[in-house]
Homo-oligomer: A and B are copies of this chain.
């Protein structure tokens, strides 16, 4: 029982200290809601960190796929074996889609900072969750499509008589696989972004 009493004494002291230190900044918000802004500000900071991580992962995936090409060291008299990402339409779509997603994520950072400065504003948060949802579906479709092609390149398909090109173009395939993994990491981070925004929007 002594411990719970000690806790009960500690809590008002802490809140009194913070009230004494920053009365000018948080005074208007603290009148209406005491606990909500601090909790929402934490969510907004975590949102910014996740957003930067997702942008980095998406940028990595874009660059990795966009620079994927391989020229085999042997050639015949008429033909040199060469593979580039834009030989496959799906990989071109992947690069374009992930570049759009990266640009969006970078451009959305100011809105995320607005959410940190004004944790109770629902306008920027609603805008972010709508655009995040669209961006996550774009990134997921690009990642899924590229994954299907990478799987086909690795394993081939005997029914359709499609050969596994990865037996020749080893580096090309490894790089494309890495780009797909990066894209799925970005997708996972962006799912967290959407869920975080949903939790922050919730009426408490």
CB within 8 Å of B: which residues of A? 83, 87-90, 122, 126, 129-130, 133-134, 136-137, 140-149, 151-153, 155, 157, 159-163, 165, 187, 191, 194-195, 197-199, 201-204
Contacts and interface: CB of A to CB of B under 8 A. Distances in A.
Copies of this subunit? 2
A111 to B, nearest CB: 15
Given A122-B202, A147-B145, A165-B160, A137 B197 contact: no
A151 B152 CA distance: 13
Main secondary structure of the interface of A (DSSP, over half): helix
A40 to B, nearest CB: 10
A149 B152 CA distance: 9
A89 B199 CA distance: 37
A26 B153 CA distance: 61
Contact of A203 (B122, B143, B148, B197): B122
A135 to B, nearest CB: 11
A121 to B, nearest CB: 10
Contacts of A136: 133, 136-137
A129 B200 CA distance: 13
Contact of A140 (B87, B90, B140, B198): B140
A87 B160 contact: yes
Nearest to A164: B160
A161 B197 CA distance: 46
Nearest to A188: B137
A150 B187 CA distance: 23
A81 to B, nearest CB: 10
Contacts of A129: 195, 198
Contact of A87 (B133, B157, B195): B157
B126 A199 contact: yes
